A and B are shown apart, each in its own frame.
Chain A
Amino acid sequence: MKELVEFFRRYSKWFVFVFYVVLSCVMLFNSDPYRRHLWLTSASTVASGLYAASNNVTSYFSLRETNEDLNRRNAVLESEVVNLREQVQRMKLAEYTDTLQLPDSVGHFDFIVANVINNSIHRPFNYLTIDKGTADGVRPEQGVIDHSGVVGTVSVAGTHYARVISLLNPNFRLSCKIKGSEHFGSLVWEGNDPSGALLEELPRHTVFTVGDTVVTSGYSAVFPAGLPVGVILEDHKNHKENFFTLRVKLFADFSRLSNVQIVVNNDRDEIMAVEASDASTITDDTGIKVKPADRQ
């Protein structure tokens, strides 16, 4: 017995070392980002408190850019309002009001505005932390966008803060299509360039030109159809395969994200329930073919 104690004491260094290494490896290789304990993420109370405090100071640094973005966005929306108003006016004049069917794909969605309080772009798996949580209606697997395009999806939500899987994270795949075409593929980040990603699994017969806009397909409960994602830069791989892989330049500038919107799908619970009951045959009444959420 005494020798056993002596043995453990003598080699305690190695036992402690192995214990910590195993503990770290468990955290390291438990890679499902949706199944994390809240306190092990940047949305935990201490971490988010620290980031919120520093964001109080640093958010002022980018006010000029934020203001310019808002002005630009405002101008775009302004012109859109004018155009739509004219359109509605014309249709009223043509007495089509009783049969007018405006596209309602955005009707199911609400948006929650949030500030990014922490963000990374240079790691193999990047995340953001935002200052809205379950108390504000944020839930895991809701989409996150900014004024220029898709940013990511919520993975862990605390009471007042949430952690978002960035589009710059290979764990996140986004169902996308080329604007004006109905063929869809899957957008995934390849791990080093924060300004671009790859659009994979696009059928070979898809017609496209470099510079075409890539938008969300809407084949999920996470993002509405038609949200801008990026533009096609080039055809990436050899043509022997049955699918195109295209390099896409992302619209969202991840190096200076400040304000984002969380996409709340009001029909999500219903879609999920229907999906859970029989995933193979469902097409809902808006024509959205219900597929599993954007991550696969």
Chain B
Amino acid sequence: MSKNVITLSLLFLLLIPAQTVLFNHLVLFNVAVPLVFIYLIIVLPVTMSANVAMTIGFLTGLAVDILSDTPGVNALCCTVAAFIRRPVFHAFVSSDIDLADQLPSTRTMGTPAYLKYALTMTLIYCILLFSIEAMQVFNLRLYLLRIAASTVYTFIILYAITLLTGRRHEKRL
């Protein structure tokens, strides 16, 4: 458990500055935004209490909001993402008994299940985020393009992070 606390704290301290200083500026063609900090929500242990998960989600979103002057946008999306994380997880993995206190990863879930889970979470996050932005300035073509391009772009980077941090020995459930 304490190992998870340290890992999550390190991820928080690493991903949020990386998102705001680096990835916010790596927008492709003005449509594809890499939302790398959602990795923090994706890897929250499934068995973690929903209240703690939502608090972590809210604080993560709030930190990104403060740093990028988007008050409330990411805080709202992260809270919702942390809330629905568990049902999404169970759509791909039937039971969480073996996963007590484990962070979701290719090692603990198996590569196909983890990638499907990460892709679904990324897609949901992008839909939430760009729907909120569309409430302010709406343009259907741009809205759909941003969701699709940002999901793919973010997912590729998340996959790269997974490859970098993943271990070779996979355990399939």
Contacts and interface: CB of A to CB of B under 8 A. Distances in A.
Interface of A: 12-13, 16-17, 20-21, 23-30, 36, 39-42, 44, 46-47, 50-51, 54, 118, 120-125, 127, 129, 163, 170, 190-194
A118 B68 CA distance: 8
A24 B54 contact: no
B77 to A, nearest CB: 8
Size bin of chain B's contact surface: 35 or more
A26 B65 CA distance: 13
Nearest to B142: A192
Given A16-B50, A124-B133, A163-B69, A23 B75 contact: yes
Contacts of A27: 65, 71-72, 75
Contacts of B21: 50-51, 54
Nearest to B17: A50
A287 B146 CA distance: 48
B172 to A, nearest CB: 31
B79 interface: yes
A30 B76 CA distance: 14
Interface string B103-118: 0000000000000000
Contacts of B51: 12-13, 16
B67 A47 contact: yes
Given A42-B66, A125-B136, A50 B30 contact: no
Contacts of B142: 192
Given A39-B66, A42-B66, A192-B142, 11 more contacts: A17-B79, A24-B79, A27-B65, A40-B66, A42-B68, A51-B67, A122-B31, A170-B136, A170-B137, A192-B139, A194-B30
A123 B65 CA distance: 12
B152 interface: no
A105 to B, nearest CB: 32
B69 A42 contact: yes
Contacts of B30: 121-122, 192-194
A41 B31 CA distance: 24
A3 B73 CA distance: 36
B20 interface: yes
Contact of B139 (A40, A44, A51, A191): A191
